Amino acid sequence: MPAKELLHEAGKLHRVSDSLELLAGQHAPIAEELSILSGNVRNSASLLEVLVALKLGPIPGLDSASN
């Protein structure tokens, strides 16, 4: 089902965002830039989840926040 696949991709984007934020804490010279990128990736993931919900409808038994 395309919706599940898209939500899986959104979950991967959330994990990338988390990784970038972690790297920001470890690399002071580029911390601000990494934090900005992290926020942009997280926003993209959230928008993808909203798009799926609006266009494809909710998936029974699937909690997108847990991806």
Banded pLDDT at 1 (limits 50, 70, 90):
low
Assigned domain for 60 exists: no
Q: Which domain holds residue 32?
A: 2-53
Assigned domain for 46 exists: yes
Reported as a single tens digit per residue, the pLDDT across 34-50 is 999 999 999 999 999 99
* Beta carbons within 8 Å of 59's beta carbon, 6+ residues apart: 1, 3, 4, 7
- The Cα 7–Cα 57 span in angstroms is 12
Total domains in the fold of the chain: 1
Banded pLDDT at 8 (limits 50, 70, 90):
very high
Assigned domain for 66 exists: no
Residue type, 36: I
Reported as a single tens digit per residue, the pLDDT across 13-34 is 999 999 999 999 999 999 999 9
